[in-house]
């Protein structure tokens, strides 16, 4: 049978037990021998699949008669020697210079035998049988595949001998053996260990034991990523593909430094090996080695200028580095090269991946304050994948939305609602916020109530089942009125974990310091809270820390005279610095800390009288210092509310004694203790400011105000 005839009829090749692949112009030949039952010990095509990208010639043998090749392969030969003659003829005609034979189980037996008879360069046998004669099988207690072997024993004819039934005899019959033999097996598999041990000490035989008791070790090695590099090592040991496969194997086992070295060696050997750039870049991203990742992707682009994937990866890195313009440029370049985003694959979650791509592209524009373009890409993301929750929040937080875009956004959301059965609460909140911007307060209230229902259904399903009503709520039972950057977000989340507290639609509703006329919008405000029946012991509330410094206490009292107020104070020096970095992070501050703080200090130092400072506070001419002038703002609240209605805590107390502090709050709110509370900080800023002179200036400024606060409240704060 010729090579051409095999190529013409592939299905016939597999039926007759041989398949030849000569698509690569190579002088290296890989012979893979199948075993019994399932062809090669794994699925019959598995060696074909795992070696499909090996740039060598390949022959796949299948033992259709299931007799360890003793009775040959149809149209190849009727016995072992004829199969070997066929293979030798192929090797000669194809001018093969290197031969590697491999196989698993019975195929491993064949790999050793054919490797020996062909004088191959290498034979790689996985869990092989090294004897199939009845005597040794009886001695060592190997009763596997007995029915197949019985048929083999019965099929003998005068032309068939049993000279190959015991492979140990091969070494006894020949002094010089050129082939290198590698035998792989699991040490806990007794019979496989027995077979391998019989060849221990034989010339050119290397045994390699792995943990486990699996007979089908080739499948195990494949699953942990070792099989492919193991084969490649023998075929072409200094190849880019070998190092790439080693990199995959090391990555799978979390040997990341070794994986990085392997990928770098692959690139060194073959600079345009793009898969290595891909994997290496991913490892650098995983380790947050941004500069190395950028360098490797830029190097890859030099070899593949139209590869959208590498540009998209650069966009991700620059987004992490907050290099918004570079992120935007690389994301857009990826989209320009491949508008269909085919680099993201065609898996089930493809739409989610594309939606996230547009989400990230929108973020790169938003951070540059290019609001219209940001919204354009956010809406594309929603149209593709409506369930990405973060997009709704991002659009909601954009302050400068073109009025013409509001209806476009609402229409997009409503179309998305028809596409998805269940929407996150952010969807309803964002629609409500957009309608609020259009002063359509009653329509907005409709969406806030649905948001409230969604949130409560998730957090308190039993309450919804028994008590839910879309009727107007009675409003909040408590308010956290401040201070900003003093831990109010964490406190609100701690309170929301209490089984008797039903959270509002938002932590910060900010109703009372809105510039709108309040009374017509009361329905709007109440729609942020669940309706709680009087006979139940549930409560609700919100936390808007700017209420403390806003002149809203009379408005609050007019609507909710019995409400309870919670106030968290923080060392005003730390609070001012934290507030600055918070505004800087969100792009609301462009000056340095020193300029921003010192300019306010200069203004306040000019005010000598108490009345002037209080007037200054009312007019809110300060951003950073006003929030720490607690005594003046608290006085305004206590002129209206009874002292018993105000609970004052400190951020330091909440951090150092969270359980005791929460118990104090529960008592204040007439709630039972919550023993299942999980303490996790929220909205935490990070900064490392070391300007001791600025701290000293702030401390000196606040000393007198802190003293007045302690005297007024009869409390000691110990702010140094």
pLDDT per position as a tens digit, 122-142: 999 999 999 999 999 999 999
Residues in Cβ contact with 487 at an 8 Å cutoff, skipping those fewer than 6 apart? 568, 570, 651, 654, 655
Tokens of 495: 């309170």
Regarding pTM above 0.95, the answer is no
CA 603 and chain centroid, separation: 49
Count of structural domains within the chain? 2
The answer to whether residue 139 sits within a structural domain is: yes
The domain boundary residue, chosen from 237, 270, 285: 237
Residue 478: asked if its preceding bond is cis (omega within 30°), the reply is: no
Residues in Cβ contact with 611 at an 8 Å cutoff, skipping those fewer than 6 apart? none
Contact 189, 216 (CB under 8 A): no
What is the CATH number for 129? 3.40.50.1820
The answer to whether residue 442 sits within a structural domain is: no
Tell me how far apart the alpha carbons of residues 516 and 1 are, in angstroms, rounded to a whole number.
91
The answer to whether residue 151 sits within a structural domain is: yes
Residues in Cβ contact with 194 at an 8 Å cutoff, skipping those fewer than 6 apart? 140, 142
Tell me how far apart the alpha carbons of residues 462 and 471 are, in angstroms, rounded to a whole number.
18
Sheet of 501-503, strands arranged across: 501-503, 539-543, 478-482, 564-569, 646-650
User: In the 8-state DSSP scheme, what is residue 641?
Assistant: S
CA 513 and chain centroid, separation: 40
Tell me how far apart the alpha carbons of residues 286 and 274 are, in angstroms, rounded to a whole number.
19
Q: What are phi and psi of 186, to 5 degrees?
A: -95, 125
Tell me how far apart the alpha carbons of residues 644 and 638 are, in angstroms, rounded to a whole number.
10
State which residues of the chain have pLDDT below 50. 1-15, 38-43, 45, 158, 518-519
The answer to whether residue 74 sits within a structural domain is: yes
User: In the 8-state DSSP scheme, what is residue 131?
Assistant: B
* Average pLDDT across the chain, whole number: 88
Q: What are phi and psi of 499, to 5 degrees?
A: -60, -20
The pLDDT of residue 681 = 61
Q: What are phi and psi of 19, to 5 degrees?
A: -135, 130
What is the CATH number for 675? 3.40.50.300
Tell me how far apart the alpha carbons of residues 180 and 242 are, in angstroms, rounded to a whole number.
19
Which single residue is written with the structure tokens 């950028």?
A: 294
The pLDDT of residue 21 = 92
The answer to whether residue 533 sits within a structural domain is: yes
* Structural domain range at position 204: 3-237
How far is the CA of 156 from the CAs of 81, 283, 436, in angstroms?
A: 15, 57, 92
The answer to whether residue 332 sits within a structural domain is: no
The domain boundary residue, chosen from 204, 237, 270: 237
The interaxial angle of helices 80-93 and 106-118, nearest 10 deg, is: 60
Tell me how far apart the alpha carbons of residues 54 and 102 are, in angstroms, rounded to a whole number.
14
The answer to whether residue 400 sits within a structural domain is: no
The interaxial angle of helices 324-337 and 350-366, nearest 10 deg, is: 140
Quickly list DSSP for 202-228.
STTEEEEEESS--S-HHHHHHHTT-HH
The interaxial angle of helices 658-668 and 488-496, nearest 10 deg, is: 70
The pLDDT of residue 2 = 39
Q: What is the pLDDT of residues 161-190, one digit of tens each?
A: 678 999 999 998 776 888 999 999 999 999
| Range list of H helices, 322-388 | 324-337, 350-366, 371-384
| Range list of H helices, 460-487 | 461-467
The pLDDT of residue 15 = 47
The answer to whether residue 491 sits within a structural domain is: yes
The domain boundary residue, chosen from 186, 206, 237: 237
Residues in Cβ contact with 601 at an 8 Å cutoff, skipping those fewer than 6 apart? 625, 697, 698, 701
């Amino acid at each position: 049978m010729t090579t051409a005839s095999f190529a013409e009829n592939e299905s016939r090749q597999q039926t007759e037990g041989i398949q030849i692949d000569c698509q690569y112009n190579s002088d290296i030949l890989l012979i893979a021998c199948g075993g019994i039952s399932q062809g090669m010990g794994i699925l019959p095509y598995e060696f074909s699949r795992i070696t499909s990208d090996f740039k060598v010639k390949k022959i796949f043998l299948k033992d259709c008669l299931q007799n360890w090749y003793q009775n040959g392969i149809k149209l190849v030969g009727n016995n072992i020697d004829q199969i070997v003659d066929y293979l030798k003829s192929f090797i000669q005609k194809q001018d093969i210079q290197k031969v590697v034979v491999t196989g698993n189980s019975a195929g491993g037996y064949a790999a050793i035998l054919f490797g020996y008879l062909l004088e191959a360069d290498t034979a790689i046998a996985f869990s092989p049988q090294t004897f199939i004669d009845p005597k040794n099988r009886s001695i060592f207690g190997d009763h596997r595949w007995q029915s197949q072997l019985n048929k083999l024993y019965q099929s003998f004819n005068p032309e068939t001998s049993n000279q190959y039934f015991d492979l140990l005899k091969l070494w006894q019959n020949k002094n010089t053996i050129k082939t290198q033999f590698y035998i792989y097996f699991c040490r806990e598999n007794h019979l496989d260990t027995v077979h391998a041990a019989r060849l221990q000490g034989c010339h050119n035989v290397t045994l390699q034991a792995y943990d486990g008791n699996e007979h089908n070790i080739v499948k195990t090695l494949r699953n942990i990523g070792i099989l492919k590099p193991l084969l490649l090592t023998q075929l072409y040991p200094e190849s880019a593909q070998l190092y790439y496969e080693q990199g995959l194997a090391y990555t799978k086992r979390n040997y990341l430094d070794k994986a990085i070295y392997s990928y770098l060696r692959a690139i060194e050997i073959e600079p345009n090996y793009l898969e290595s750039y891909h994997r290496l870049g991913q490892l650098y991203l995983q380790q947050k080695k941004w500069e190395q990742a950028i360098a490797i992707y830029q190097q890859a682009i030099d070899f593949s200028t139209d590869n959208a994937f590498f540009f998209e990866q650069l966009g991700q890195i620059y987004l992490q580095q907050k290099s918004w313009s570079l992120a935007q440029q690389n994301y857009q370049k990826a989209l320009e090269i491949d508008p269909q985003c085919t680099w993201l694959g065609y898996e089930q979650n493809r739409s989610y991946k594309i939606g996230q791509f547009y989400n990230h592209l929108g973020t790169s524009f938003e951070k540059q304050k290019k609001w219209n373009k940001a919204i354009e890409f956010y809406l594309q993301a929603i149209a593709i994948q409506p369930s990405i929750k973060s997009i709704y929040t991002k659009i909601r937080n954009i302050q400068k939305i073109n009025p013409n875009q509001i209806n476009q956004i609402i229409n997009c959301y409503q179309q998305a609602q028809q596409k998805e059965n269940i929407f996150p609460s952010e969807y309803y909140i964002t629609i409500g916020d957009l309608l609020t911007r259009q002063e359509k307060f009653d329509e907005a209230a409709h969406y806030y109530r649905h948001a409230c229902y969604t949130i409560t259904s998730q957090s308190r399903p039993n309450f919804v089942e028994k008590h839910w009503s879309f009727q107007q709520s009675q409003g909040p039972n408590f308010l956290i009125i401040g201070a900003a950057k003093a831990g109010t977000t964490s406190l609100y989340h701690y309170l929301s974990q209490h089984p008797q507290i039903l959270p509002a639609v938002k932590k910060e509703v900010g109703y009372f310091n809105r510039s709108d006329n309040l009374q017509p919008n009361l329905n709007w405000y109440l729609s942020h809270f669940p309706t709680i029946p009087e006979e139940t012991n549930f409560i609700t509330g919100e936390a808007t820390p700017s209420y403390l410094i806003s002149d809203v206490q009379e408005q609050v009292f007019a609507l909710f005279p019995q409400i309870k107020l919670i106030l968290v104070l923080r060392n005003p020096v730390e609070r001012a610095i934290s507030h600055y970095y918070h505004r800087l992070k969100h792009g609301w501050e462009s000056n340095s800390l020193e300029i921003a703080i010192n300019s306010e200090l200069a203004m306040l130092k000019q005010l000598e009288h108490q009345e002037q400072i209080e007037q200054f506070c009312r007019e809110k001419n300060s951003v950073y210092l006003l929030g720490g002038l607690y005594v003046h703002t608290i006085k305004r609240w206590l002129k209206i509310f009874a002292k018993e209605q105000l609970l004052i805590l400190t951020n330091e107390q909440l951090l150092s004694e969270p359980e005791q502090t929460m118990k104090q709050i529960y008592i204040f709110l007439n709630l039972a203790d919550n023993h299942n509370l999980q303490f996790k900080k929220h909205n935490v800023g990070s900064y490392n400011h070391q300007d001791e002179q600025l701290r000293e200036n702030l401390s000196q400024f606040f000393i007198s105000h802190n003293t007045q606060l302690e005297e007024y409240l009869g409390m000691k704060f110990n702010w140094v």
